[in-house]
Amino acid sequence: AKSSHGPQEPPCLPALPLIGSLLSLQSPCPPHVLFKELQKKYGETFLMMMGSHRVIIVNQHAHAKEVLLKKGKIFAGRPRTVTTDILTRDGKDIAFGDYSATWRFHRKIVHGALCMFGEGSASIERIICAEAQSLCCSVSEAAAVGLALDLAPELTRAVTNVVCSLCFNSSYSRGDPEFEGMLRYSQGIVDTVAKDSLVDVFPWLQVFPNADLRLLKHCVAIRDKLLQKKYDEHKADYSDHVQRDLLDALLRAKRSAENNNTADINAESVGLSDDHLLMTVGDIFGAGVETTTTVLKWAVAYLIHHPDVQRRIQHELDTKIGADRPPRLSDRGSLPYLEATIREVLRIRPVAPLLIPHVALSDTSIGDFRVKKGTRVIINLWSLHHDEKEWNSPELFDPDRFLDSEGTGLTIPSSSYLPFGTGIRVCLGEALAKMELFLFLSWILQHFTLSVPPDHSLPSLEGKFGVVLQPTKYKVKATPRPGWWRAKSQTC
């Protein structure tokens, strides 16, 4: 008899006992590219075995939306893995934590705290613009000496300071040793966490010496010390009357749960332990830094490859804003080509090409396929964003695809586009990230033209796969634009 949850499981990659489908996954390509290739042979939605875990790969938008949106609650689980357990003290955070009352509670607190700084109030805009200004000053100093410069450290510092203000009400100046340390440990974590490594297929491999795990543990220890320091400082001068930042919002929730101890809610049982609070800020801080910085690096790399796109954005900036004042958030509506360019960057090089794995919390289905409880589901956003049936020449960088036929209004030409995911696990930082991308890019392009330095080659557009898809290092030449001196005399 046909089961109500679909008659059969999706086509499965060849699987051996113990190792599962590992042999079919040996490839020089990164996983998102390999999974896109494999759909030619197995269909858009297929099953594979990672050791003893069933993993379904989804390469197409209708199935992706069924998982994330229509059945979002059923697929809201997260797998426990060796590396994310090290990073998050066994899933006590939002991004890698399983679906639970604690998870819902923490999402709500963070959401509330981000809204407090939100688009409505002016303060988040002020914070970002102050960082954009300091970024432009640093770049102009380097540009004056005519150096080929690596923009990455300055972009990272600007983005870090925004999220540092939000989380801890603090910021870093150039050359701060704590900031330099943060850069190093964060890269170490990005390089080692959640890259479906062998320890997650064979957890017993942890007992053997493993360079990746050692690096991860070392970096996590440094991160935890930094978080603990911020936490202790906040606890020491916490007041119920002022809420300076996210950490204060979390502490307030903890205090109020502790005062309500008479009811059966207490701080431990709703997940407001010190560990949970630390892991939640750790998530927002980590996500806040690594994602936005990565998109800015991709955007600059593509602008260098496409000087025509850069010129069109600058023309838009010159006609809509001019050189007498810097861009602000309220200009977003009048700069559609810049917005279209940001959308195209997020399409062609998605930050999280496989999102974060989801888990089916009960027996269910995807399309006509049966899905057993506990199955992991990986949404291959790379396939959605490069689907030839949905996008013309998907490998072509073309912001115009996000503009209407008059070239003045924004559109989303295909529903195969989910840079921030969707549904109950949708990115918590989408609004913040979009504000930052708009302001940082508009400030930079108002003041400078970016190009390849003499004797350098164009940036690679290939990308290094990990928990985020990062571009490889490259240098740029930043040429101050005419008229910039007027703004400069007022700012630097």
Shortest Cβ 276–ligand PLO spacing (Å): 15
Q: With CA atoms as reference, report the closest residue to 150 among 477, 478, 479, 475.
A: 475
Choose among ligand PLO, ligand HEM, none what residue 301 binds, the Cβ cut-off being 5 to 8 Å by kind: none
Shortest Cβ 420–ligand PLO spacing (Å): 9
Torsion of CA 366, 368, 372, 373, to 10 degrees: 40
* From candidates 193, 201, 213, 272, binder to ligand PLO by CB under 6 A: 193
Nearest CB to ligand PLO, comparing residues 171 and 292 = 292
Torsion of CA 253, 259, 260, 261, to 10 degrees: 110
Q: With CA atoms as reference, report the closest residue to 43 among 8, 95, 89, 4.
A: 8
Q: Show the tokens assigned to 332.
A: 């977003």
Radius of gyration of the chain (CA): 23
Binding region for ligand PLO (CB under 6 A) out of 20-28, 38-46, 183-191, 237-245: 183-191
Nearest CB to ligand PLO, comparing residues 286 and 399 = 286
Binding region for ligand PLO (CB under 6 A) out of 121-129, 188-196, 197-205, 405-413: 188-196
Residue nearest to ligand PLO (CB): 286
Tracing tokens 């875990």 back to the chain, one arrives at: 53
Should residue 190 be labelled a site residue for ligand PLO when binding is judged by CB under 6 A?
yes
The sign of the dihedral angle between the CA atoms of 288, 289, 290, 292 is positive
Site string for ligand PLO, 460-479 (x = CB under 6 A): -------xx-----------
Nearest CB to ligand PLO, comparing residues 171 and 192 = 192
SS3 177: helix
Site string for ligand PLO, 218-257 (x = CB under 6 A): -----x----------------------------------
Nearest CB to ligand HEM, comparing residues 300 and 433 = 433
H/E element, 385: helix 381-385
Binding region for ligand PLO (CB under 6 A) out of 3-11, 171-179, 351-359, 450-458: 351-359
Tracing tokens 């030839």 back to the chain, one arrives at: 388
Shortest Cβ 44–ligand PLO spacing (Å): 23
Rounded CA gap, 294 and 122, in Å? Answer: 25
Q: Where are the alpha helices (DSSP H) in 60-100?
A: 61-65, 82-88
* From candidates 287, 295, 299, 433, binder to ligand PLO by CB under 6 A: 287
Binding region for ligand PLO (CB under 6 A) out of 164-172, 184-192, 313-321, 446-454: 184-192
Should residue 163 be labelled a site residue for ligand PLO when binding is judged by CB under 6 A?
no
Should residue 201 be labelled a site residue for ligand PLO when binding is judged by CB under 6 A?
no
Nearest CB to ligand HEM, comparing residues 77 and 140 = 77
Should residue 189 be labelled a site residue for ligand PLO when binding is judged by CB under 6 A?
yes
H/E element, 478: strand 477-480
Is residue 338 within 8 Å of residue 438, measured between CB atoms? yes
- Per-residue burial over 179-194, b if 16 or more Cβ lie within 10 Å, else e, is beebeebbebbbbbbb
Should residue 286 be labelled a site residue for ligand PLO when binding is judged by CB under 6 A?
yes
Choose among ligand PLO, ligand HEM, none what residue 433 binds, the Cβ cut-off being 5 to 8 Å by kind: ligand HEM
* From candidates 140, 165, 186, 280, binder to ligand PLO by CB under 6 A: 186
Rounded CA gap, 147 and 134, in Å? Answer: 18
User: Under rule CB under 6 A, how many of the chain's residues touch ligand PLO?
Assistant: 16
Helix axes of 123-144 and 430-447: crossing angle, nearest 10 degrees:
40
Is residue 223 within 8 Å of residue 189, measured between CB atoms? yes
> Which residues of this chain interact with ligand HEM, rule CB under 6 A?
68, 94-95, 107, 283-284, 287-288, 291-292, 295, 346, 351-352, 355-356, 419-421, 425, 427-429, 432-433
- Per-residue burial over 106-144, b if 16 or more Cβ lie within 10 Å, else e, is bbebbeebbebbbeeeeebbebbbebbbbbbebbbebbe
Should residue 95 be labelled a site residue for ligand PLO when binding is judged by CB under 6 A?
yes
Choose among ligand HEM, ligand PLO, none what residue 193 binds, the Cβ cut-off being 5 to 8 Å by kind: ligand PLO
Which chain residues interact with ligand PLO by CB under 6 A?
Answer: 95, 186, 189-190, 193, 223, 283, 286-287, 290-291, 351-352, 356, 467-468
